Amino acid sequence: MAANEGTAGAEERGERGTRRTVYAALVANLLIAVSKFVAGFVSGSSAMLAEGVHSVADTVNQVLLLVGLRTSKSPPDEEHPFGYGQDRFFWSFLVAILIFFAGGGFALYQGITSILGEPVDHGSFLINYLVLGAAFVFEGSALAISIREFRRAARAEGRAFREHFKTTPNTTMKVPLYEDAAALTGLVIAAAGLLLVQATGEEIFDGLASIGIGLVLLLVAWELGTDSRKLLIGEALLPEDRRRIREVMLSFPEVADVLRLLTMHLGADAVLVNAEIHVVDGLDTDGIEDLLERVTREIRREIPEVTQTFIEPHPAGRADRS
């Protein structure tokens, strides 16, 4: 019971950390979007307008992530016996689509039309630099919060930051990291474009900056969409975790062999395990039931994310099935 309470407490702390990350990004992006649009319309900078659309898309993304956090906690029912944990992956995939089209696509369009269109009078560049500076502070603060919460989650899993980023199924927490890093990169690109326009008088640099921002967003959308897609189509546990489960099963003397082991993520903190095992001869029904209960407890102790376990025993004398 204490172990289960500890696991539940860790999951609750992780959930709070995820929400803090999303809320921080939401507030920062909303404030920045308004300031970017004001600066973009005043100066006529396509890069600033592209950045404004980028921030609006990021704001909407955080709302979608909050929806996913809420719906994924719905209890299991007859139509969804394993719960709604995978709903997080769906909303993260929608976020990737939004970043791709509303962020990256618009930025590319804005950059190309700026290059091919008539020159624009930027007027004073001061407002653009002020907005970019303020946005950099806000985005940097949001990124710092995202990194702090992600490091905390990585420590809880006993993994390094980079390893946890590559392996975690918590796409909801990864999205703000992707977005904030892309936003800071976009701000640097936009500032560089404005500096080159101011220094050379060539409007093409503003359009090129917008295209550069678009390419960054397309890359982020692709990476996030790929992560979400793998989980939506039933990604298994990491090879090392599958190996740990197999080792747990074989650690019981009553288990002669593991015939098959299948795993799948049911949510950010939920995993399904399905296995077929060979058991030694001589076990009666009560002995087999007791064995399966002990194996299940040990698997969940070793990997707390395992919430659904189905183990089918076969007599050791039975020929292996292909």
Average pLDDT over residues 205-216: 90
More confident call, 195 vs 51: 195
Query: Are residue 225 and residue 245 in the same domain, yes or no?
Result: no
> Which alpha helices (DSSP H) does the chain contain, by range?
2-43, 46-71, 87-98, 106-116, 126-157, 161-167, 171-200, 204-232, 239-250, 285-302
Per-residue confidence (pLDDT) for residue 129, from 0 to 100: 84
Question: What integer best gives the mean pLDDT of the chain?
Answer: 85
Query: Are residue 84 and residue 106 in the same domain, yes or no?
Result: yes
Amino acid at 121: D
Average pLDDT over residues 6-16: 57
Given a cut of 50, is residue 267 above it in pLDDT? yes
Per-residue confidence (pLDDT) for residue 190, from 0 to 100: 86
Given a cut of 70, is residue 120 above it in pLDDT? no
Given a cut of 50, is residue 1 above it in pLDDT? no
Q: How many CB atoms neighbour CB 267 within 10 A?
A: 22
Q: Do 271 and 303 meet the contact criterion of CB atoms below 8 Å apart?
A: yes
Q: Which domain holds residue 274?
A: 239-315
Query: Are residue 309 and residue 260 in the same domain, yes or no?
Result: yes
Most confident of 39-48, 178-187, 235-244: 235-244
Q: Which of 210, 232, 254 is the last residue of a domain?
A: 232
More confident call, 276 vs 26: 276
Given a cut of 80, is residue 171 above it in pLDDT? yes
Most confident of 47-51, 152-156, 242-246: 242-246
Return the SS3 of 262. Answer: strand
Q: Do 39 and 48 meet the contact criterion of CB atoms below 8 Å apart?
A: yes
Query: Are residue 274 and residue 228 in the same domain, yes or no?
Result: no
Domains contained in the chain, number? 2
pLDDT class of 321 with cuts at 50, 70, 90: very low
Q: Which of 191, 215, 232 is the last residue of a domain?
A: 232
CATH number at residue 269: 3.30.70.1350
Average pLDDT over residues 180-197: 89
